[in-house]
Structure 1
Amino acid sequence: MDGWLAGKVALVTGASRGIGAAIARTLGGHGAAVAVNYVQSPDRAAQVVADIEAAGGHAIAVRGDVSDPAEAERVVREAQGLGQVDVLVCNAFGPTTGIRRRPTVDSWDAVAAVQRRVAVQLACTLNCVHLVVPGMRARGGGSIILIGASGSAGGGAPGLAEIAVAKSAQDAAGMALARELGPDGIRVNTVAPGLVPTDANAGEHQASWIAAAEAATPLRRVSRPEDVAHAVAMFAGDATRQVTGAYVSVDGGRSLG
C-alpha cells in the first residue's frame, strides 16, 4: 500500500463487484479509508473490505440503494463514520439483474425502461452529491468522480439505449456540477469505460465478442475493471487538483471511431 490517498475518506457506490469493487480496492491500496456501498451482495462487499484490510488499508461495507433519498442519507452517514467524505465515486446505477440488449422504442415497456434508467441513474448520482457537498464545502474542497460510459456521446451500441441515454444525462449533470461547485474547490470529473467484461454484462462478452472488440480497439485489448480504477485514483488525488469537468474514456481508444 502506498500513501497517494493517505488521510482521505472515499465513498464508492455500487462497489461490491466489477468496476466498483476494483475502484474500492485501488483507492484502499493507495491509502484511502473506503466505504464500500452495496445493495444485493453482502458477501461480495465483505470480501472487498477484507481485501483492502489484508493489504493494510481500512474499509467498511455500507448497505443501501442510493437511488432512494432516505437510504442514500443513511449510506453517507455511515460512511462518515470513517470521517468526512473527501472522495465520492458515483458508480451505482440502481439495482439491476444485469445489462441486456433490447430495442429502444419497439414497445411501451422499452420506452418506459429508458425513462426509468435515466431517473434512477440521476438519483444515484445526485442524491449522493447533495449529501457530501456540505462537508466538502466546509473543508474547502473534494473530488467527485462519475462513472460514465464511453459510448454515451455517440448514442451507444444498438439495443443499449438505456445505458447510453442515462449516462448522457449524467454527463450533462457532471458538467453543470463542475461549474457550480468549482468555486468551492470541489472537482467533478467523469471516467467513462467502454463495455468492460464483468458479471453485470456477462451476455455481452463471449470470446467472439472480445476478439472482435480487441480488433476494433487501437490498443488491441478490451479494458478491465482495474484500468478504470487507476483512472479514478488519478482524479481522487491532489495531483489533479486543477482538473475539473474532464471526461476521460477508458476504452483503449475505441471511441475514437
Structure 2
Amino acid sequence: MTRPVTVVTGGSRGIGAATCLRLAADGHDVVVGYVRDAEAAEAVADGVRKAGARCVTVRVDTSVEADVERLFETAERQLGPVTGLVNNAGVTGPLGRLADADTADLRRVVDVNLLGTLLCARRAAQLMTARGSGVIVNVSSAAATLGSPGDYVHYAATKAAVDALTLGLAKELGPDGVRVNAVAPGVIETEMHAAMGDPDRARRMAGTTPLRRPGQAEEIAAAVAWLMSPDASYTTGAVLRVSGGR
C-alpha cells in the first residue's frame, strides 16, 4: 500500500514536532513546515527518518499564499500526493489585556492562526477533493471556549474561528471523501509560553486543571494521530478537547 503523505505546519517545535514524530512512527511520510528555525526543523526531520519515514522540510509563512502553494508543491514533487494536513502553525503574541495589545501583534495572530489555516485548508481541499480522499486536522485550543481573559482574547477568538472552520469544512468536504477534525489542547508544556513572555505559565496554571498538571506535546500528537488514522474513519466535524478537564 502507498504510504500516507502528511503536511504538518509549525512542525519544528512543540506540538508540531511531536506530531511529526508520532505520524512517522505510525507509517506516514512527513513534510515539516517551519517558519524560522531551520536547525530545529532538520532535527525533527532526522527523527522522522530514524522512524523509517521519508521527510522533507519546507520554510513557509502560512499567512503568505505563495508560500503555501510552494509548501504543497514541494510536498507533492518530493514525496507524492498529499493525503493529510495538520494545520498546527500558530502564534499568540504577548500575554496581556486586549486594551493594551499592539495592532501589529493582533494582525499577526489573525494572519497566522486564521488566514494561514484557511489558506492551507483550501489548498489541501483542492488536492484532496480531486482524488476523493484525505484528512485535515486543525489544531485549535481550549481557549476557543474559555475566552482567555487577561491573557490573549485575540488568540482565543482566532481559535474559535478555527472551530467554526472545522465544522463547516467537514460538512462541505464530506461528500468528497475528505474528513476534517480539530484537536483543542489545554495548557501544554511547550516553548510557546516562553515566547509569550511567561516561561513558567504552564506549571503555574496546573492547579486550575482537574488533572493538576500541564499536558505534554506527545499527548496532543496522539490525539492528532488518531484523527488521522483509519480508526477515526467515521469521525468528521469533531473538535476533540485534550485539556486535562479544563
* TM-score, L = length of structure 1: 0.88
Alpha-carbon distance in structure 1 between the residues aligned to 2:106 and 2:35: 21
**What CA deviation, in whole Å up to 9, does each residue of 1:220-243 have, x standing for no partner?**
321011010000000111111111
- TM-align CA RMSD: 1.9
Alpha-carbon distance in structure 1 between the residues aligned to 2:14 and 2:203: 20
Identity of aligned residues (%): 38
Given that 2:61 and 2:68 are in contact with CA atoms closer than 8 Å, whether structure 1 keeps it comes out as yes
Given that 1:151 and 1:157 are in contact with CA atoms closer than 8 Å, whether structure 2 keeps it comes out as no
Q: Which residue of 1 aligns with 2:162?
A: 170
Which one of 146, 152, 155 corresponds to residue 160 of structure 1? 152
Q: Which residue of 2 aligns with 1:239?
A: 231
Alpha-carbon distance in structure 2 between the residues aligned to 1:236 and 1:32: 10
Alpha-carbon distance in structure 1 between the residues aligned to 2:94 and 2:108: 15
Secondary structure of 1:220's aligned partner: coil
- One-letter identity of the residue aligned with 1:191: V
* TM-score, L = length of structure 2: 0.92
Q: Which residue of 1 aligns with 2:186?
A: 194
Secondary structure of 1:153's aligned partner: helix
CA gap of 1:13–1:240, structure 2 versus 1, over 3 A, is: same
- One-letter identity of the residue aligned with 1:42: A
- One-letter identity of the residue aligned with 1:148: S
Is it true that 1:25 corresponds to 2:21 in the alignment?
yes
For residue 192 of structure 1, report the CA deviation from its aligned partner: 0.8
Secondary structure of 2:145's aligned partner: coil
For residue 138 of structure 1, report the CA deviation from its aligned partner: 2.5
For residue 205 of structure 1, report the CA deviation from its aligned partner: 4.3
Count the aligned residue pairs.
243
Given that 1:191 and 1:250 are in contact with CA atoms closer than 8 Å, whether structure 2 keeps it comes out as yes
Q: Within 5 Å, give how 1:93-242 maps onto structure 2.
A: 93=90, 99-106=93-100, 109-110=102-103, 113-202=105-194, 203-206=197-200, 209-242=201-234
**What CA deviation, in whole Å up to 9, does each residue of 1:132-168 have, x standing for no partner?**
2222113221110000111211212422112101111
Given that 2:187 and 2:202 are in contact with CA atoms closer than 8 Å, whether structure 1 keeps it comes out as no
**What CA deviation, in whole Å up to 9, does each residue of 1:39-83 have, x standing for no partner?**
101000000000111122221111111210001100111111211
Unaligned runs of 5+ in 2: none
CA gap of 1:75–1:220, structure 2 versus 1, over 3 A, is: same
